[in-house]
Every structure is written in structure tokens, then in C-alpha cells.
Chains A and B, each alone.
Chain A
Amino acid sequence: MSEKNEHNDSIENSFKKHFQALIFKDEDKYFGIDISLCQDVNEEIEIKSVPKSKKYIAGIINIRGEIITVIDLARLLKYKKNNVTNSSAVIRIKTENNTDAIRADSIKDIMKIPNDSLEDASSYLGEREVQFIDHVALIENNLILFPNIQKIFDSQEVSDLD
């Protein structure tokens, strides 16, 4: 069974035809995250920047008494040049302590993404992006980037970056 899968389609989850993804916009890029990995979404929340911290960290927020670290994907991927953080939406990701989140300019939609629309990111993106983005999908003429959540929140993985 697994052998057959590998043969036909190298992408995981292939036994399901599609999955639900939360689509959000940051800078001028669209990103998608499997909705089963998301804990919750908080819109219109002010992120407190942490001085002297790594550039890709947008800051911290308080969600129901917990201090949540917010990662700025656009900065991590070097899409953003300026340091100004607009009011933003924060997507909390299901992790061990649920204390990690991703910043977004705006939440767009929840979409069904067919599995066979996912393509390997390396043919579309540069080296730095491929480090954190596994797959891309072209949906309604928009390129949606599917980041590897684990790598983004792995402090080891990103610690060498500025």
C-alpha cells in the first residue's frame, strides 16, 4: 500500500483527496495552513514587539493569560523590508504548549485544497524560502505557499538566521 502510494504520489495525505486550509495574506503573498494545525485565530490584536529579539519575531501577545510568541513569516522569508507592523491577525498554531503563533496582515478564507494541486516548492521558490515552505499550490491564479509549521517553530532551525 505504502509502496503504491510512493509510486503514484509522493505527497502525504494522498489517501484523502483534499484538505481544509486557512488562507491568509501577508505582504503580497498568500499562505495556507492545514486547518487541523490551527488552534485559533485572533484578529485586530496588537502585537508587542520585543526589543533586541530576532527580526523574524513579530513580538508577543496575551491570549487569555498566556504569553504567545508571534512569528512574522514575511520577515522570516525576507519578503518584508520595513519594520513597521500593522494591526494584524494572529493565527495560533497547535503546538506543545500552544504558545506559538503566526502573524498575518489579513485572513482570507478557508478553502478546500485538492491534494493533487500541491506541488513541490523548490521549482517555484528560492533557497531560503524552500527551507520553510514545502509545497505550493496555484489556486484561482494565486500562488499559495504552504509552510512547514514544524520548521518555523523549531528554534534550532531558525536560530542561525538573523
Chain B
Amino acid sequence: MDELLKTFISDAQDILIDLEENILKLESEITKDNIDTIFRQVHTIKGNSSLFDLSQMSNLTHKFETTFSKVRNETLDIDQGKIDVFLKIIDVLNQMVANIEEANQYKIDGLLQDLDNMQNQKSDSDEVKPKPKKKPKKAKPRKKKSSKKDVKDAALFLASLNEELDFLEDKIVSLENEPEPASISELKIKFESYVLSATEFDQDKLVQLFLNLFLFFDLIEKDKIKIDVDTIDLALLSLVYVRNATTAGENVSNLEYNEVINSFKSMELLSDALVEYNKSMPKSKKSSTKKSEDTRKSAGRGKKKTEEKKSDDVKKKNAIRILKSTVDEARKLNKFLFLFKYTNVTELNKIEEYYGKQLESTIIEIFDFSKRDDRKICYLLVTSSEDIREKAALFTILYDRVKIIHEPDVALKIEESVKSVEKPELPAPQTKPESKTTHLKVPIELIDQLINLAGESIVARNEIIQKINSIDSPTLVSSGNKISSLITRLQKNIMRTRMQPVSVLYQRIPRIVRDVSKVLNKKVNLIMDGTDVHLDSTLLDAISDPIMHIVRNAIDHGLESQDERRKLKKTETGMLKIIASLHGGNVILTIVDDGKGVDLKKVKEKIIEKGLASKDTVAGLQDDEILNFIFEPGFTTTTKVTTTSGRGVGMDVVRSSINKVGGTVDIKTVFNKGTTITITLPQTLSIITCQILKIGNRRFALPQQNLVSLVDLEETRVSYVEDHIMYKFHNELIPIFESDKILELNDDGSGKENETKEKFIAVVKTEQYQFGLIFDDILNSEEIVIKPLGKHFLGLNWFSGATILGDGEAILILDIPGMARELNVRHILTNKIMRETKEEPSTVNNSLSEGNYLVFRVFDQQFAISTREKPKIIKLAPDSLDHLLAFSVIEHRGTIVPLFELNKYYEINIIPEKKQRFAVMFHINDQDIGIVVTDIVNVIDNIPPFDQVNFSDETIDGASLIEEKPTMVLNSKNLLEKYLNEYEMQNTAVT
């Protein structure tokens, strides 16, 4: 593939992305700027594609452009349907560009038809405007059909023109009485558009006529021709001809036509002369009027052609010939302009040498026959600028002036090319040439190579610094430091070359939001923030699909339908917010919706249904742990599979692909309020800061981002829960692991002397958990280059890669989230809270599932009890307590349930005026049992740290302050089992 085409492809892809974005903007707001931009973008693609052999692409873009020009003229309204078509076109164009070799084989008939329909729809409705541009001259795949169509269209055009004539006549007549500038320019524009459409249909005579009318009114507008009876007559006369032409076709007498044309010509020439005359004698108004009277006479009759006029005609023809050649030049120039966007200055000079001369000769020709302003431009062109770019720009301005006469299309093309050149490369003419190139296109392989080299040089630098430090030489150390800082800076800057703004990712989102919300018929207000946050382009690629998935999910599962939202008294339009921000070295992406949130009950049901966890386990899990199941493979809460979601291949892929690039995903949800998904990513890949740690005689790297703290191992803080070692860290019990044991390094022969040495704990974190790893020694912290482990280590969760230290040793990088999974930290932490629990078979309405502790009072004493047993509270009717021997009982759901009166068990003062109003019911060992309670205080998430040592009673976990009241924290299991035993023993003794 040649270079130019490659450039075209990458350019076109960029443009298409912007284009899609701009078209989507039309949905919310239609601004002139935006429409102009879209028009320009479509045009650029069209222009560029026609340079290559991409007929289908240029056909499609051409029609797209024509249709859009109607939008621009405000003769075509934009609606949903049209935007759909536009987007479809962009999809096809994207495919074409991606598959450029086969671009001409794409079927675009359907889309072309859609565009046609769009245009026709317009001509049925509002006032008649020029028909869509067609290019019958251009070779089309289906010539017969298209030519037929053109004939039909031409007839339509003439018919519509005919209808307009009355209106035009009216306008012109009214000008005679009150010459309003507005209506003059309106007429001028009308005629201009007629010129364009007449050109489309090969109506040569009409073209000539309208062209003359246009120029005529142009002159009137510029006050070069006065409005009087004769001018009006002439205009009306030409309209008569138009009327004849439109009704009778081409069979109008040529004589009549020629007469009209000639009149125009003389009129124009005279006005030119008039202008010159006015200039030479600025003050003699009278004579000018006289002259204009002459003009009128000659114009009115039109037959009085003097010799002079004839020579003028020759001159004019000459000029047109020159202008025509200009158009050819312009075509070449267009190609040339496209070229020089991408070539360097020396090549440009070569082109200029060859091309510039030809150009200049043309310019000089034009110079001979041109109006004053144009002359000025010509002059500037030839003399002033050394810079070919400026020259080209000036040329375009000049060309601009003649574009109306010849091939407006080509003119536009040039305009586009120049515009795109102008921005980066044509600042004010005075500025220095160096500042003209601000961006370079560099192949990504080159950047990757640079990054690899930077990585290698970091390793080499670490190596050399180590060696330098071992030699006692201050000068060497200082040069070492110098080179070290240089390499660091070099590496940082090279890494920046791969950085891309998040906005690149954002560009894709509106389209997805639109498509999904349309299918689901939901209204979404998309807010995106933090576009200027940069991150590594590989990362951006890696998270692109996951983000799209989350966005789709948010709209599909998160946001409710409009009806539902109304019922919930929410705004009809759902909110979807995507925010990127920098936090430390991490990029945080949050995706927030204000939808219905995740229904935890549903999730629980699904977990059990899919067999992801047993009923028992599920009952004991915390909300955030339940939520985590969303990330399990095969999990979905929707019952039916839709096009948008429901296949259950989503969130697990999301998490794993984000984990793969070193990121984490977290989900938070509030039922009926919304869901927030937080993605945390490192800003760059491949180079990270790591803490080097020693286990035995081996070194390992621990990524800084996972490290919370490094602490000395203090024996007093160690405790055991079941078989796990727990450590009190900042008043929190975290599980800790002996690294040498979990990594099975025992047989490495590290020696026993370590046992007496003090050890360290690295407290590490994943997105959900904190845990500790015991190490023998802490070494330095280093910037390391991550090298992937080979394919043989697939499925090895303990390490995320390897790196080479300064001394050449290959060491492994610990994969903390992976370790958390392998070590089953979740399970340990769950157990810490749960210990052993038995699940209650049926959950009743008022059972307490939220919060971790129920706080209640028995008379004056406050108690807290864990709610993991799912106690439920029942109200005791007055005097409903019965007694069975020494035990209080009530009748509950048809059985006799023992009630535990804590005041009988612990020493509590009975306050007679307080009534025992509630019972907290438990189901334990297949038996119901209740605790009699006077007041229910609260349900709380966590209990402040409490002291375990002072209480030897196994029914009490400890004491704590809750809401500033001393509270006994009960061990429900021990307490109730103990009580039940007593109760049962009594019962069996009785029976």
C-alpha cells in the first residue's frame, strides 16, 4: 500500500470519529457551526477519496454531502431517522476505510436510496429549492438507470422552477418601487443556487441565463448598476425566457435567448465601464447618469452591438478560457495541497520549483484580465510570498472568486484542503516557519521500540549505579547521578508519547449510549468529564471494551424505563455520568448511573440458582461480597437474553481484562438510587515502582500500588482465628501469611537463623481486602520494568510478571489480587465475622438482614448481638409470657418457644415500670428461641473496637461503647446454645 493511501486511511479514520461525534451532537442541539463542521468533514473525505480509486466511497460521500448541504441551507430538517441513516453511512465508511482494498465492493445502493428519499421528502413539503446536486456526467455503476432518473429529476427541476417564477417576478417588480437590499441579495442567492442546479441537469442555456442574472444582481447589490425601468425589464425578460424554457423544454427560439444574453453582456460591460468612469471622474455625477442612460438604451434593445463591444466579447471569452485553465490548475493544486500536508519542506520546495512556475504564469494571465481586488491578490501571489503554502492559500482566495462560474465542486475541494492546511500550518504570515509543525505522525512500532529501549536503559542504569556506588570515586558518582536523572527524564518523556487523552475513549461512548437507549426506549443524559486525563494507549485499548460494556449495562439494567422513573418520582431522563480523574499515579474512572441499582435479593437468588455458592454461604455474606458475584463468570440477573445484554459473559470479562492491565474494578450500589462502578488503573504500563522484599535469600518485588504499609512484626498483636493468623493493624484484624510457607520456599535451604531475627509485615490491599505478608527483610524501592512471564505460567496467579534487577538477577513480581484469591482471603475475612453459622431456613418479612449488629436494651443494660443469625423482632402482647417451669415461653407460630430473659442470666436491675415489649427471635439448632428485650436501640454496621480480655464468660464477646453507652457484645451462638441446653435438659427431665 502506498504511503499516501496509508495517510489517507489514518486521516479518514480520525475524521470519521469526529464526524460521528458531531452527528450525535445534532440529536441534542443543532448549531450552525456544527453543521458546517460536518459538511466540511464529509467534504474532506469525499475530496480525498476521489483522489484514490475509491468510487463507491466518493459516491456515497458525495450524496451524503449533497443531502447535508440541504441541511446547511435549512431546507431539510434533521430528525432521528436521518441521523440513523447518517450514522449507518459512517459505519459503512468506517468499514470501507478499514478494508480499503475492497472498498469498491461495498453495497451502498440502500444508503444512496435513503439519501435520495430524504431529499425528495423535502421537495414535497416546503417551498421549492434547487434540486439535489447530481452528477450525471460522472461515471456511475448503473448508467442506464441513473440517466433515466436524471431525466426525471431534470423535469422535476424545471417544473419546480416554473412554480417559482411568479414569486420571482413579483419580487423583481417590487424592486422597481422600493429597492430593498435584502430582497436583492435574496434574489442573487436564489439565482446562484439555480446556476448550480441547472449545471447539474446540463441545462446550458439556463445556466448561462441564471449566471447572468446572478452577476447582474450582484452588480446591483454592489451599486454598480442602478435599478431602473430598463434593468427591471431585462430581468423580467429573462424570466419570460425561463418560463418558456421550463414549459416548452429546449424548443425556444435561440434568437430570443441570444438577445437576452447579449443584453446582459452589454449591461455588465457597461457597468464595468461605468465603474471606471466613475473613478476617473468621481465628482461628475451628471455625466455618469448620462452615460447610464446610454447604457440603458443599448441594454434595452440589445441589438446595438458596436465593434468595441465585440472586442470586449473576445476579451471576455479569453478570460473565461483562462479561468477554465485555472480550474484545471486548481484540480492539480488540490492534489498537491493534499500532498504537502504530509511531505517535508525540502520536498515542497521541489514541488514548488516545478509547479510554482506554471502557477505563476497562470496567475499572470489572470492578472491581465481581472478586477481590482483580484489583481491585488494576483500581485501578492506572484511577488510577496516565498512560502508555497501561503501562495497556495492566496491562490485559493483568488480561485474563490471565480468558483461560482466554474465547477463549484472543485472550488469547494480546494477550500477544504486549504482550510485543513491553514489551521496548523498557516498562522499569521509573519510567524516563523519552525512553529508551523506542532504534531508529527510516528509509527507506533517505533514508539514501542523506544519504550523498550527506555526500559532497558533503566535496568542498565540501575546496574551501573550499583557498580559506581561500590567504587569510592566522588566524580564517578556525580556523573552517575547525572546520567541517572537524564535517563529517568528520558524514560518519562518517552512514556508520555504513548499517553492519550481519555477523550479518545469518550468519543465512542455517545454512539453506544444512543444506540442502546434507542433500542430500549430510555432517555439518557450522558455526562462525561475529565477528558484531559491522559493514560497509556495500550491501557486505553484494553479498557475500551469493558467500559462500553459497563455503559451498556448501566442503561440496560441500571436505568429504568421512563414510566418506571416517573412512578419513582425521578426525572424521566436517566443520568449516566462518566468521570476520569487522576489520583496519585492512578487514573480513576467512575461510571455513575441514577437507575434502580442492583437488586441484592435477585443477586442472591441467582447465586444459589447458578450454584456459585451454597445457600448457607450466601446467607452469611456481606452486601459487598454479594455484589462481587456480579463479576463471576456466567452471572446475569436478567432472565432473557437481549441484544444488549443478558448473556452473562459481561462483568467477569470486564474485571479480568481490567485486572490484566493492573487495574481494579469496584462496584457500589444503592437500591433504587443507582450504581457506581469505579475503575482504578495505573497511568502507564510496563514500568512501575516496586518495593523489593526478601524472603529467605530470595528477593521479590511488591508493587507500590498494592502496598499499604511496612511494619515490624510484633508478637503481641498476633492472634488466631481458627487456623489463621490474624494481626491487629490500626485496630483492625487482618489475616497475615508467612510468605515463605505460602510460597513453599522452605526447601530453598535459607537457613534457620532467621527465626530469631525480627520480621516484617507488608500490609497490602486489593480492591476489597487488606492482608499482611510476613517478610524477612525490606530492601529498597525501585522502578522496575515488568516483563511478562512466558505462556507456561498461564494460570499462575501468584506473580504478575518478572523483572531484572540492577545486578542482573531475575526476580518475580507479586500479584497481590491474585494472591488474595489463592489464599482465599475473602473466606478468612468472612469467617472472621461469621465464625460458624447456621442458616435460617426461611427469611420472614421483618428479619434483619441489613447491618451487622442489633443493639437493644434489657431494662437499663445495653446489649449488642450479631445479626448474622438473621434474628427477627416480634412484638410481645402484654401478658403473653407463659412459664414452663423456670423458663419463660411464648406461643409462636404454633410452637412453644423458650424466651431468654437476660436479666436472669446477668445481673441487671429490674425496673418495674419498663415493660418487656419485644422478643428477638433466633432459629438455632433447628429450634426457635427468643430473647426478651425492653427497647430496640439500633442496627449498626460495626461495633467500635472492644476489649476481649476482661471477660471470661464465653457468652460474651466483649464490651464496647455504643452511642456512648457501655454495651455488652453477646456471642449469640454460645449464649443461645447454652440456654437451649438448659431448657432441653429441663424438658427431658420433666418428660
Contact = CB atoms under 8 A, between A and B. Distances in A.
A54 B798 contact: no
B304 to A, nearest CB: 89
Contacts of A159: 794-795
A57 B787 contact: no
A91 B686 CA distance: 28
B81 interface: no
A153 to B, nearest CB: 8
A50 B794 contact: no
Contacts of A57: 792-793
Contacts of A65: 456, 459, 804
Given A57-B792, A67-B790, A100-B790, A52 B798 contact: yes
Interface in A70-118: 71, 83-84, 99-100
Interface in A139-162: 153, 155, 158-159
B789 A69 contact: yes
B804 A51 contact: no
A37 to B, nearest CB: 17
B744 interface: yes
A8 interface: no
Quick one: which of B744, B788, B790, B812 has the most chain A CB within 10 A? Answer: B790
Nearest to A49: B748
A60 interface: yes
Contacts of A66: 787
Nearest to A97: B790
B744 A60 contact: no
Q: Do most interface residues of chain B lie in helix, strand or loop, or is the interface mixed?
A: mixed
B812 A50 contact: yes
Contacts of B368: none
Interface in B796-810: 796, 798-799, 802, 804, 808-810
Contacts of B698: 48
A155 B810 contact: no
A67 B802 CA distance: 7
A62 interface: yes
A53 interface: yes
B793 A50 contact: yes
Nearest to A154: B791
A84 B746 CA distance: 12
Quick one: which of B698, B744, B747, B792 has the most chain A CB within 10 A? Answer: B792
A81 B789 CA distance: 26
A99 B788 CA distance: 11
B811 A52 contact: no
Contacts of B744: 51-52
Contacts, number: 65
Of the four ranges (under 10, 10 to 19, 20 to 34, 35 or more), the interface on chain A belongs to 20 to 34
Given A48-B810, A52-B743, A52-B744, A71 B798 contact: no
Given A48-B810, A52-B743, A62-B808, A67 B798 contact: no
Nearest to B799: A50
B613 interface: no
Nearest to B805: A62
A61 B787 CA distance: 12
Given A52-B796, A67-B804, A62 B790 contact: no
A48 B811 contact: yes
B529 to A, nearest CB: 40
Contacts of B788: 67
Contacts of B98: none
B745 interface: yes
Given A67-B787, A100-B790, A62 B799 contact: no
Interface in A18-75: 48-54, 57, 60-62, 65-69, 71
A69 B790 contact: yes
B410 to A, nearest CB: 52
Contacts of B747: 83-84
Contacts of B459: 65
Given A67-B787, A67-B804, A51 B793 contact: no
Interface string B774-798: 0000000000000111111111101
Given A48-B811, A50-B812, A83-B747, A67 B792 contact: no
B792 A69 contact: yes
A94 B748 CA distance: 31
A39 to B, nearest CB: 15
Q: Which 8 A-B pairs have the closest CB atoms?
A: A69-B790, A51-B743, A62-B810, A67-B787, A155-B791, A67-B802, A62-B804, A52-B798
5 contacts: A48-B812, A50-B789, A52-B743, A54-B792, A67-B787
Given A50-B789, A62-B804, 12 more contacts: A48-B811, A49-B748, A50-B812, A52-B796, A53-B792, A53-B796, A57-B793, A60-B802, A60-B810, A67-B790, A69-B789, A159-B794
